[in-house]
A and B are shown apart, each in its own frame.
Chain A
Amino acid sequence: MVDEAPVLELRGITKRFPGVVANDSVDFDLRRGEVHALLGENGAGKSTLMNVLYGLYHPDEGEVLVKGKPIRLHSPKDAINHGIGMVHQHFMLIPVMTVAENIVLATEPTHAGVLLDYGAANRRVAELSKSFNFAIDPGARVESITVGQQQRVEILKALYRAADILILDEPTAVLTPQEARELFEILKTLTNEGMSVIFITHKLNEVLEVADRITVLRRGKRIDTVDRQGATEQGLARMMVGRDVLLRVDKAAPEVAESLLSVDDLHVVDDRGLEAVRGVSFNVRSGEIVGLAGVDGNGQSELIDAITGLRRVSSGLVTIGERDVTGDNPSSILDRGLGHIPEDRQLRGLVLEFSLAENLALHDFDKPPDSRWGWLFPRQLIRRARDLLKQYDVRGGGPQTRAAALSGGNQQKVVLAREIGREPSVLIAAQPTRGLDVGAIEFVHRRLIEARDNGKAVLLVSLELDEILSLSDRVLVVYEGQIVAEHGPDVSEEQLGIEMTGGGREVAA
């Protein structure tokens, strides 16, 4: 089905920002009916390139050709008019509106030019969705459908505007393995219909599964474009990072000792007053990593918050070491030997406007040697920060740099430095590699293993099954606020995927 003539061509695209060349003379072409993956670490220039293509940025040099003709893109509207559609990583949908309303937005069919013609909208969306086998109810409200379905709504939105070139930005980041597989099926249907897809990702296994060709970007430059045939994960990773990368985590057998964290019949209520954690019991022992697998929103956040004292416990017990810490305030729990890498480093983990030195002192600023009698010693903060930043290889700034100025990977290193640097006995890591690139993920994983080997009890909460499987010594599966299964480290991804979504219950199409 692949036609040799490119439907889209980017020639010598250069985009400079002050102090950095985000795209350095990048060539890229897309053939009719192919999935062309754009692979690269965060900051490699993938998003910049796609924003150029979608009319959000104007390139400093180079040209964009659609079907052989050079075009000028001034806005996303131009891009849409040229048949380019984009599905962003964060969906641009209005939750309270229906699927059909979201799809026809801005191009609504109307009665007499004023009144929205709901009938026509629903009908057209239903037809469109049927022609691509999407199985989506046009009348359903967006907030009531699954994330995977919302993504399909986004794709339909592009198709509705007659896009034949589809840009997908990290589309699997929010999906379960099953949903991801369904997405890949959809992409096959689309390319069979003659659509062309640009698939942006930093996940190697996906690329090999879905792409026909792969272009790798590194630091703004195109490194190479290769066919899927003959490409290997190891080879692609080398191109991405510029050196050999450890894809599997090497770790010794765990040396498990006494239980350091135990949770007993814990019940926790969420912000809406609903019970989010419903009788969870487990323990984590010294020298092991326990992985908590589950789809987002099944009580993981509430569980962590309850353990760390950030949320009230309705009933049950939390014990760190020998000590009952249930209902204690966060700072005293932290001082009992708990380290907590929060799931959102920008919302919780860091005060972005603070310097790195100040951020690293977040738990200890009120004790000597950071302060005495309420008097803060900034120089002491800086001294400690200098050590920690070196130890944790934080780049892009010194102790006085504002945290906001660092890249995501380096920000996470700062959080890690603080949490592990305090030598806690229990370490809770919630989605520690979310949004990080291969190099940084490798770093975080190694530090977690290291913490385990130093006899800490590590609780790893992650939505990434790869991560759970490669790090954990035991795996717990959480579903609707309960632990529904426990496995050894060799459980299959499929098995977990099924249990995570309610134990073989049919996954909503």
Chain B
Amino acid sequence: MSDLTGETPEAPEPTPEGAIPSVAARLALYQRAGGVITPILTALIAFLIGGLVVYATTGKNPVSTYKAIFKGSGLSWLSPVSVHWHTFYPNGIDWTGWDTNNLTALNLQQTLIIVTPLILTGLAVAFAFRCGLFNIGGNGQYTVGAITAVQFGIWFSGLPGPLHVIIAMIAATLAGAAWGGIAGLLKATTGAHEVITTIMLNWIALWVGSYLVGFNGPLQDPRQISAPVTRPIAQSAHLHVFWGNPLLQGLHVGFFIALAALVVYWILLNRTTLGYEVRAVGFNAEAARYGGISVKRNYFLAMAISGAFAGLAGSIDLLGWQFNLDLTTVQSVQIGFIGIAVALLGRNSAVGILFSALMFGALLNGTSSRNLDPSIFRPELAGNLTRIIQGLVVLFVGADLLILYLWQARKKVRLSQRKGAEQA
């Protein structure tokens, strides 16, 4: 029996416990480092393999292909070189007679118009991810948002502009939230897996939308019996174009709404009790339940909020540049799926999503037939190149761990080589 009852654990007792965290802390550091490096690596490898496909299948030079895509994306507008070019050669030297800088600006506007909904559908996937849910339903939620926006854009045509826009956007956001919320509700009440239900809801949205805008559908424009398209929305519901010519599809203020959504996403997750609950459920649902958090409620809310982001995306596209909805558009929505790649590559962080949305937006616009010189690479193939890269990104992000492992294995090899050298 010891008489050291008074001894407190503050006694000089550097337990081995002190040593363990530092190992874990190092590991955490590696992972954090990997958090920036691996997505970049992932993208690079995807581009590399995409380039190999280009070379192997068409014999074209992948480098010049990528250069052309980059040029078509208009991103070079941001680089100082092009700005200086403009300064030294105010009229440009392009033999087409276009002002190079203006063409680049036009391309960048197009890219950012695509980036805008990509950010939002990326957020729609990311928010659900943070709650441990996989939202495949971005497409359906987007479609529902677009349909709602077109209806509200046609109604209330007497309203002043900003108010009309806001009403249409809120309605579309709520519609998207409802669409996502259905999947969340089903998950919470019956345990139905959200992957299955969101895919089903995608198809429901697609066919309901097709019915609504299709021939003799309730939303079809009665003045154009021969075309499956809705009436255009009122001028007051158009989003303001702040850069470029509105007639040439300039960049609308929806871009700023998407940027604001990134901020909202971050605040929601990190500065609200709702975000705390969502993250707790996402990391460890059992601990959250033990802590007194209703897991079911969070499943519903997370899916609804995800759907809200996607619904907002649908309304921005519609109010920003589409202005009406036709059958082909409804049936060929892909943006929700690209959002998955955006969220995965962006690691569900606000900043990451911004950059990966920029990358995918640039890729999509750069490979569009209008922007790619057919002598360099056939645009109809280039569109598929985008999809290949998109697929590879999803594949590689799943292999994050593999990349991290290789990263560390390389270190190990180096270490043992050094040791071998010492011994020799």
Chain B 219-274 residues near chain A, CB threshold 8 A: 270-274
Q: Which stretch in B70-78, B165-173, B286-294 binds the other chain?
A: B286-294
Measured between C-beta atoms, what is the minimum distance from B150 to chain A in Å?
A: 33
A506–B412 Cα distance when bound, in Å, is 54
A220–B22 Cα distance when bound, in Å, is 14
Residues of B within 8 Å of A255, CB to CB, are none
CB of B122 closer than 8 Å to a CB of A: no
CB of B421 closer than 8 Å to a CB of A: no
Residues of A within 8 Å of B274, CB to CB, are 374
Closest B residue, CB atoms, query A443: B9
- Tell me if B20 and A354 are in contact (CB < 8 A): no
Chain B 69-99 residues near chain A, CB threshold 8 A: none
**Contact code string A351-389 (vs B, CB < 8 Å = 1, else 0):** 111100010011101100001001110100000000000
Interface residue from B273, B283, B290 paired with A354 (Cβ < 8 Å): B283
A94–B115 Cα distance when bound, in Å, is 51
Residues of B within 8 Å of A331, CB to CB, are 291-293
Residues of B within 8 Å of A374, CB to CB, are 272-274
CB of B1 closer than 8 Å to a CB of A: yes
Residues of B within 8 Å of A220, CB to CB, are 16, 19
Q: Which stretch in A26-34, A110-118, A148-156, A394-402 binds the other chain?
A: A394-402
CB of B413 closer than 8 Å to a CB of A: no
A395–B16 Cα distance when bound, in Å, is 11
CB of A509 closer than 8 Å to a CB of B: no
- Tell me if B273 and A362 are in contact (CB < 8 A): no
CB of A410 closer than 8 Å to a CB of B: yes
Q: Which stretch in B24-32, B210-218, B341-349 binds the other chain?
A: B24-32
- Tell me if A349 and B287 are in contact (CB < 8 A): yes
Interface residue from B5, B7, B24 paired with A404 (Cβ < 8 Å): B24
Closest A residue, CB atoms, query B294: A329
CB of B59 closer than 8 Å to a CB of A: no
Measured between C-beta atoms, what is the minimum distance from A108 to chain B in Å?
A: 31
- Tell me if B283 and A353 are in contact (CB < 8 A): yes
Closest B residue, CB atoms, query A413: B9
Chain B 6-50 residues near chain A, CB threshold 8 A: 7, 9-26, 28
Residues of A within 8 Å of B283, CB to CB, are 351-354
**Contact code string B279-316 (vs A, CB < 8 Å = 1, else 0):** 11001101111111110000000000000000000000
Known contacts: A19-B25, A352-B284. The answer to whether A439 contacts B9 by CB under 8 A is yes
CB of B2 closer than 8 Å to a CB of A: yes
Measured between C-beta atoms, what is the minimum distance from B287 to chain A in Å?
A: 5
- Tell me if A439 and B291 are in contact (CB < 8 A): no
A401–B276 Cα distance when bound, in Å, is 16
- Tell me if B287 and A350 are in contact (CB < 8 A): yes
User: Would you call the interface of chain B mostly helix, strand, loop, or mixed?
Assistant: helix
Total number of B residues with any Cβ neighbor in A under 8 Å: 46
CB of B4 closer than 8 Å to a CB of A: yes
Residues of B within 8 Å of A352, CB to CB, are 283-284
**Contact code string A228-269 (vs B, CB < 8 Å = 1, else 0):** 000000100000011111111010000000000000000000
- Tell me if A407 and B273 are in contact (CB < 8 A): no
A321–B420 Cα distance when bound, in Å, is 69
Interface residue from B13, B276, B286, B419 paired with A365 (Cβ < 8 Å): B276
Residues of B within 8 Å of A20, CB to CB, are 19-20, 22-23
Measured between C-beta atoms, what is the minimum distance from B156 to chain A in Å?
A: 31
- Tell me if B279 and A402 are in contact (CB < 8 A): no
A375–B271 Cα distance when bound, in Å, is 6
**Contact code string B193-224 (vs A, CB < 8 Å = 1, else 0):** 00000000000000000000000000000000
Residues of B within 8 Å of A278, CB to CB, are none
Residues of A within 8 Å of B16, CB to CB, are 41-45, 218-220, 437
Residues of B within 8 Å of A244, CB to CB, are 2, 4, 7
Chain A 293-331 residues near chain B, CB threshold 8 A: 308, 310, 329-331
- Tell me if B286 and A348 are in contact (CB < 8 A): yes
Closest A residue, CB atoms, query B11: A243
- Tell me if A407 and B20 are in contact (CB < 8 A): yes
CB of B275 closer than 8 Å to a CB of A: yes
A361–B28 Cα distance when bound, in Å, is 22
Closest A residue, CB atoms, query B274: A374
Known contacts: A331-B293, A351-B283, A407-B20. The answer to whether A376 contacts B10 by CB under 8 A is no
A308–B286 Cα distance when bound, in Å, is 14
- Chain A CB within 10 Å, residue with most, of B18, B24, B270: B24
Known contacts: A244-B7, A248-B1, A330-B290. The answer to whether A376 contacts B271 by CB under 8 A is yes
A340–B290 Cα distance when bound, in Å, is 9
- Tell me if A354 and B289 are in contact (CB < 8 A): no
- Tell me if B292 and A329 are in contact (CB < 8 A): yes
CB of A334 closer than 8 Å to a CB of B: yes
A437–B12 Cα distance when bound, in Å, is 17
CB of A508 closer than 8 Å to a CB of B: no
- Chain A CB within 10 Å, residue with most, of B18, B19, B272: B19
Measured between C-beta atoms, what is the minimum distance from B377 to chain A in Å?
A: 43
Closest B residue, CB atoms, query A446: B9
A126–B17 Cα distance when bound, in Å, is 44
A437–B20 Cα distance when bound, in Å, is 13
Interface residue from B21, B279, B293 paired with A397 (Cβ < 8 Å): B21
CB of A455 closer than 8 Å to a CB of B: no
- Tell me if A246 and B15 are in contact (CB < 8 A): no
Known contacts: A20-B22, A376-B273, A405-B21. The answer to whether A362 contacts B28 by CB under 8 A is no
A410–B52 Cα distance when bound, in Å, is 51
Known contacts: A19-B25, A352-B283, A395-B18. The answer to whether A342 contacts B273 by CB under 8 A is no
Closest A residue, CB atoms, query B4: A244
- Tell me if B286 and A347 are in contact (CB < 8 A): yes
Residues of A within 8 Å of B287, CB to CB, are 347-351, 362
CB of A270 closer than 8 Å to a CB of B: no
CB of A85 closer than 8 Å to a CB of B: no
- Chain A CB within 10 Å, residue with most, of B10, B275, B276, B289: B276
Closest B residue, CB atoms, query A371: B273
A220–B25 Cα distance when bound, in Å, is 19
- Tell me if B272 and A330 are in contact (CB < 8 A): no
Closest B residue, CB atoms, query A402: B28
- Chain B CB within 10 Å, residue with most, of A45, A246, A401, A407: A407
- Chain A CB within 10 Å, residue with most, of B28, B273, B274: B273
- Tell me if B279 and A354 are in contact (CB < 8 A): yes
- Tell me if A43 and B19 are in contact (CB < 8 A): yes
- Tell me if B2 and A19 are in contact (CB < 8 A): no
Residues of A within 8 Å of B22, CB to CB, are 18-20, 396
CB of A409 closer than 8 Å to a CB of B: yes
Chain B 343-381 residues near chain A, CB threshold 8 A: none
Known contacts: A352-B284, A410-B17. The answer to whether A246 contacts B273 by CB under 8 A is no
In addition to A220-B19, A331-B291, 5 A-B residue pairs with Cβ atoms within 8 Å of each other are: A219-B19, A354-B280, A362-B290, A375-B273, A437-B15
- Which 9 pairs, one residue from A and one from B, show the smallest C-beta to C-beta distance? A331-B292, A396-B21, A362-B291, A43-B16, A19-B22, A407-B17, A407-B20, A405-B24, A18-B26
A-B contact pairs, 27 of them (CB 8 A): A17-B23, A17-B26, A20-B19, A20-B23, A41-B16, A42-B16, A43-B16, A45-B16, A243-B12, A243-B13, A244-B7, A246-B2, A329-B294, A334-B292, A347-B284, A354-B279, A361-B276, A362-B290, A375-B273, A395-B15, A395-B18, A395-B21, A397-B21, A401-B25, A406-B24, A437-B15, A439-B13
